[in-house]
Chain A
Amino acid sequence: MRIFDPHIHMTSRTTDDYAAMAGHGVQALVEPAFWLGQPRSNVGSFIDYFDSLIGWEPFRAAQFGIRHHCTIALNPKEANDPRCREVLDVLPRYLNKDGVVAVGEVGYDAMTADEDEVFAAQLELADRFGLPVLVHTPHRDKARGTTRTLDVVRDSGLEPSRVVVDHLNEVTVKEVKDSGCWMGFSIYPDTKMDPDRMVVILRQYGTGQVLVNSAADWGKSDPLRTYATGQAMLAAGFSEDDVDQVLWRNPVAFYGQSGRLVLEETEVAETFEGNSILRGARV
C-alpha cells in the first residue's frame, strides 16, 4: 500500500512517527500551515514557521525516504488577531516556492468579518500564483460554515476542481460533492471521522475527488490513520486499486495541479543510524 498523506502537521511529530509512517507505506505528504496550539504574537513567528515548512521539515522527512511538500497561508484562527494580519504581506515571498503546492489552510473558524477578508484575499493569491487551495471547515457550527465556504469559493471565480474542502463528515459531504470541490476527510482516533465511518461514506459517495488524511498534529491524533483507513477499505471489500486511488492517486492529482509535486524516489541523505538528526541531538 502506497500512501500520500495530504494533510499532516509533521512539525508536531517525532522521528518515531516518521519511521512508523515510512514502515506503513507513507511515501509522500503535504503539511499545511496552520496554528500551533499556542497563539503567535507577531509576524516573525510565522516567517520562522514557514521557513521550517520549506526547509527543516522536508529535510527531516527525507531522512526517512518521505517526500515533504507544504501549503502556506494565514490560518482562519489567527486571521482574527491584528498582530498577525501582516502575514498576508509576506505570503508572496513563499507562494512561488518549489515545495509549496497549495494555499492553505484558509477558511473559517468563528466566521468573523476578519476571516471573510483574509479568506477572500488568499483565494486571490491562489489565482495569482496558480495554486490549488486547501480549505479548513470550522469545528463549531460546521454545516453553516461549510455552506458559507462554498459561497465564498463560488464568488471567487476559482474552478471548484482546484479547491479541497477539508474536515468533512456525514452532514457536510453532500453539499461539497455537489459543488464540484474535492472532499477532504481527517481521520482521528475519536473525533472528526474514523476509518469505519469513512468506508460508509466512500460506499455512498464513491472514491473520486476524495482525500483521506490523518491531520495528525500536537493533539491526540495518529499519523497511521491513513493506513488504517486503507485496511478498513480492504476489509469492507474495496479493491487494492480503490485504495490506491484514494490514498495515492487522488492526492497526486489534486496537488499535482500546482505543477510542483516532486515524487521521484526521495534521496535518503544518510543511513538511518547515522542520520544527522540523531547526530544533531548528540552535538
Chain B
Amino acid sequence: MAVKELTQVGRCNRIGLDTRLASALDGTTADWLVSRRAEVVRRPERLGEIFPAVARTVGRAGLGDGWTVDEAARASLVAALAADQSPDDLATALSGVYRYGDAAEKRAALRALAVAEVADRLGDRALPLLADAIRTNDQRLLAAALGSYATEHLDDAAFRQAVLKCVFTGVPLDLVDGLPDRADDELARMMADFAAERSAAGRDVPTDIRRYLEA
C-alpha cells in the first residue's frame, strides 16, 4: 500500500532552500524566481496570483530531501515574506494561499513551515492550517502537515489523532517527523485498540504500527 509521491522534509533555513533552488534551476528560471521573491516583498498582495502559477514556470522535478522544485519555490516566496512581515501579516498571507490553494499549493504552504524563519516568525499562528490538512482524507496533505512544525506545535491529543489517521489512510509512519519521539502510552493504547479492531474483523494490521504496540 505504498503511496507514491508521499515525502517529508526536514527543518531547514531560508538561505539553504534558496541556494538549493538556485543550483537546480536554469539561469532564466532562477532569475524569474528571484524577481518574484522581490515582487511579493514589494507587493505582498501579489502572492495570491503568483503562487498558483509557480509550477508552470519552475516545473515539478524532485529536488532531493523530500522537496520538489515547485514546492521549494513556493516555500521560498513565503520565506521571503517572513523576513519582512509582521507575524500576523505573514500568517494572513500564508493562510490566504492555503485557503485558496489546490492540493499542490496547500502542500507547498505546509512545506513552508519547515523553513526555520517562517516557523519561528509565525509561532503557533499556522495551527489552523494544520487542523484543516489533518481533517482531509488526502494523504499528501496529511503527510505534509506532520513535519517539524507539527512536532513542535500540535498538542498531544491532536498529534495522536493525526498519527492514527495516518495509519487509517496509509501514510507511512516513518514520514511523521514527531515519531518516534512523541509516541506516548496513550498513543500505544490507541494503536493497540485499532489493531484489535482490525484483527477482530479479520483484516490486516499495518506492519509499521508494530513497534508502537510493543512500546
For residue A219, CB closer than 8 A to chain B, the reply is no
Q: Are A94 and B100 in contact (CB under 8 A)?
A: yes
| B137 nearest CB neighbor, chain A only | A280
Q: Are A98 and B52 in contact (CB under 8 A)?
A: yes
Q: Are B5 and A267 in contact (CB under 8 A)?
A: yes
Task: Give the Cβ gap from B64 to chain A, nearest Cβ, in Å.
Answer: 20
Q: Are A276 and B56 in contact (CB under 8 A)?
A: no
Task: Give the Cβ gap from A257 to chain B, nearest Cβ, in Å.
Answer: 14
| B169 nearest CB neighbor, chain A only | A276
| A282 nearest CB neighbor, chain B only | B168
Known: A270-B170, A276-B169. A98 touches B1 (CB 8 A): no
For residue A104, CB closer than 8 A to chain B, the reply is no
Known: A96-B49, A259-B56, A276-B170. A269 touches B137 (CB 8 A): no
Q: Are B49 and A269 in contact (CB under 8 A)?
A: no
Q: Are A277 and B53 in contact (CB under 8 A)?
A: no
Q: Are A55 and B1 in contact (CB under 8 A)?
A: no
Q: Are A283 and B52 in contact (CB under 8 A)?
A: no
Q: Are A270 and B1 in contact (CB under 8 A)?
A: yes
| B6 nearest CB neighbor, chain A only | A269
Q: For the complex, what is the distance from the CA of A96 to the CA of B52, rounded to whole Å?
A: 6
Which among A92, A99, A276 has the greatest number of chain B C-beta atoms within 10 A?
Answer: A276
Contacts of A271 in B (CB 8 A): 1
| Binding stretch for chain A, among B20-28, B83-91, B102-110, B181-189 | B102-110
Residue-wise, chain A 247-283 has the 8 Å CB interface mask toward B (1 for contact) of: 0000000000001100000011111001011011011
Partner of B104, one of A94, A98, A282: A98
Q: Are A55 and B102 in contact (CB under 8 A)?
A: yes
Q: Are A269 and B48 in contact (CB under 8 A)?
A: no
Known: A59-B138, A93-B100, A280-B137. A260 touches B170 (CB 8 A): no
Residue-wise, chain B 1-37 has the 8 Å CB interface mask toward A (1 for contact) of: 1011100000000000000000000000000000000
Q: Are B52 and A97 in contact (CB under 8 A)?
A: yes
Known: A274-B170, A276-B139, A279-B137. A99 touches B1 (CB 8 A): no
Q: Are B48 and A277 in contact (CB under 8 A)?
A: no
Contacts of A90 in B (CB 8 A): 100
Q: For the complex, what is the distance from the CA of A58 to the CA of B103, rounded to whole Å?
A: 9
Q: Are B103 and A92 in contact (CB under 8 A)?
A: no
Task: Give the Cβ gap from B29 to chain A, nearest Cβ, in Å.
Answer: 16
Which among B102, B105, B137, B165 has the greatest number of chain A C-beta atoms within 10 A?
Answer: B102
The range of chain B's interface size is: 20 to 34
Contacts of A47 in B (CB 8 A): 100
- B37-91 at interface with A (beta carbon < 8 Å): 48-49, 52-53, 55-56
For residue A168, CB closer than 8 A to chain B, the reply is no
The range of chain A's interface size is: 20 to 34
Task: Give the Cβ gap from B191 to chain A, nearest Cβ, in Å.
Answer: 15
Q: Are A280 and B169 in contact (CB under 8 A)?
A: yes
Q: Are B139 and A99 in contact (CB under 8 A)?
A: no
Contacts of A283 in B (CB 8 A): 137, 165, 168
| B201 nearest CB neighbor, chain A only | A282
Q: Are A274 and B137 in contact (CB under 8 A)?
A: no
For residue A216, CB closer than 8 A to chain B, the reply is no
Known: A98-B102, A99-B102, A276-B169. A270 touches B3 (CB 8 A): yes
Contacts of A94 in B (CB 8 A): 100
For residue A21, CB closer than 8 A to chain B, the reply is no
Contacts of B3 in A (CB 8 A): 269-270
Known: A96-B49, A280-B169. A55 touches B138 (CB 8 A): yes
Contacts of B137 in A (CB 8 A): 276-277, 279-280, 283
| B142 nearest CB neighbor, chain A only | A276
Q: For the complex, what is the distance from the CA of A45 to the CA of B99, rounded to whole Å?
A: 14
Contacts of B169 in A (CB 8 A): 276, 279-280
Task: Give the Cβ gap from A100 to chain B, nearest Cβ, in Å.
Answer: 9
Q: Besides A56-B138, A259-B56, 10 other CB < 8 A contacts?
A: A54-B102, A55-B102, A56-B136, A58-B102, A96-B53, A98-B52, A270-B1, A276-B137, A277-B137, A279-B170
Show 13 A/B contacts (Cβ-Cβ < 8 Å), sorted by A.
A51-B100, A55-B102, A55-B103, A56-B136, A269-B4, A276-B138, A276-B139, A276-B169, A279-B137, A279-B169, A280-B169, A282-B168, A283-B168
